[in-house]
Chain A
Amino acid sequence: MKLAFGLQTYAFFYLGFLYLPVLFLPLFSFNDGTIVAFPIKGWTLEWYRQLGSQDTLIQALVNSLLVGAVSAMLSTAMGLFAARAYVRYRFRGKRISEGLVMLPLVVPGIIVASSMLVLFISMGLKPSLTAVILGHTFLALPFAVAIMKSAFDDFDVSLEEAALDLGSTVLETFRRVTLPIVAPGIVSSLLVTFTVSFDEFVLAFFLSGNEPTLPVYIWSQIRFPAKLPNTLALGSLLLLASVLLLVIAEFFRRRSSKSLV
């Protein structure tokens, strides 16, 4: 019991260390003053109200939503096919291929970002939202593959065989059986990859040129002390949105594995 108590204390401090700084963000976003320090002067929603009237912010938000949506769809589509192949088939180079797909998780972002910048420019693709979309698709792919793999892990192969046996073509089988059954996994993957893209800074900073995404915009605003409370408010909203999206994604992921008992 003594040990358990020690572990509990450790876990408590550990979680505090991880999440307390994050909680300061929403806390100070309601502070009626421009200096981020205790004591809190008073409570206000002013900073949130001001957000709506900043055109450059709205444009950055639209950019982020666009980039997030497109790269989520691209990476999920690729993840879907890759995962089905990884789960179903044995082929030469499968393990190497699986390892390579997961690589973006461990390669430092700054290296990916600078090499992509060089690559894209040498290909004639100037820094733009298109470049960011390509970069984010690459970055989100491991998440999409991992989620879709877990969706296919629980998928009974004989379901597809049954559809073929009952006269469906390969394409019909995919559309009428495979897709509906892995649909929760697809939704989960879309949400997670969207969140990955939406929060991403380094790649977007290198590749976005003069069309900033929201995190890049936030970074540019932090230089102005007067605007700091606005940034805190915006950051809090982003935090809330991310958490919500990930919770919903997890809900769908669990549903996908439950529905196939």
Chain B
Amino acid sequence: MLRRILSLIIKEFLTLWKDPKSRYVIVAPPLIQLVLFANAATFDVTHVALGLWVEDTAHPATELVSRFEGSTAFDVVAHFDNPGDVERALSAQRVKAVLHLGQTFSADVLSGRPAKVQLLLDGRRSNTALIVQNYAASILEDFQRQRSPKPDAGLQLETRAWFNPNYDSKWFILPGLTVLLTAVATILITALSVARERELGTFEQLLVTPLRPMEILLGKALPPTCIGFVEANVIAGVAVVVYGVPFIGKILLFHVAVAAFAISTIGIGMVISSIARTQQQAILGVFIFLAPAIVLSGFATPIANMPLWSQELTRINPIAYMVRLTRSIFLEDVSWAIAWHQLWPMLLIGIVTQAYSTWLFARKLQ
């Protein structure tokens, strides 16, 4: 029995490696996506195009303006003197925000009256707008503190972001990407390997050999697991070495997590491949599963922001568990005890899907 499975595994690796198409699937898309996501998938906002509409040329106003001009977050690209121009520039996306200081600003500040600074933002990209607003607020706060060195009974918030003090997008995109690409590779390889054999007729050839269904499934599941491990390690390595993402967690835990995750994704790939008759159907099946699974995984946007029903859906999504777990391994050095909460659901999903696909295979033979 061991000999038969071993032959099957060797064959799987050989076909994967010798077929240029499969080689391409394993190597090219992950590489392209790694480079693309690491650089293009960013929520960081830099070099905000800022317009100035300053109706006050007295002292404190010019000081505030020069603070904005000196800030690395903003690039002052336009000056306005009437609301019409402001509106046109914002509509045409020439500026993302306009800082408006009214005529009485300096006088109000100097006389101790409450003074107003207006910030007009292009709200089309709400996320960017919020961040720009934060930038402006912190410049203003500095300005105020400077002006009244003895702060009144005001509050001073000292914010610290644990695990990612500089709010670097790459730190959360890349660990998530490790999971995503591993998921795509394992599911696609698993789903396609059976469908391809079915299309070429070799699957029937396998079925008339003394291999039992269990042995075929085992032989089909192990190679993608190995590839999943390699892929996860390579991408994690690139994230750490090239992009400087810290890895402070336990390496053993990372590998245990990858194993549990691979069991679950390969189970899903198996279910797809036991339903699909052709490679095209398999690809479609993979897509139908992956598209929502990735969207609802917390990879790009937090699960907590989703409506309740889709938060419930993430409970059956292995990618959601793994994204959360991988990020906490990378950045938080999560403990085994806490990791277990993410590990067992993946294992459960894996066991259920593998059992289901075995049952489907057995049934199909009848």
- Decide if A and B are genuine partners: no
Chain A residues within CB distance 8 Å of chain B: none
Chain B residues within CB distance 8 Å of chain A: none
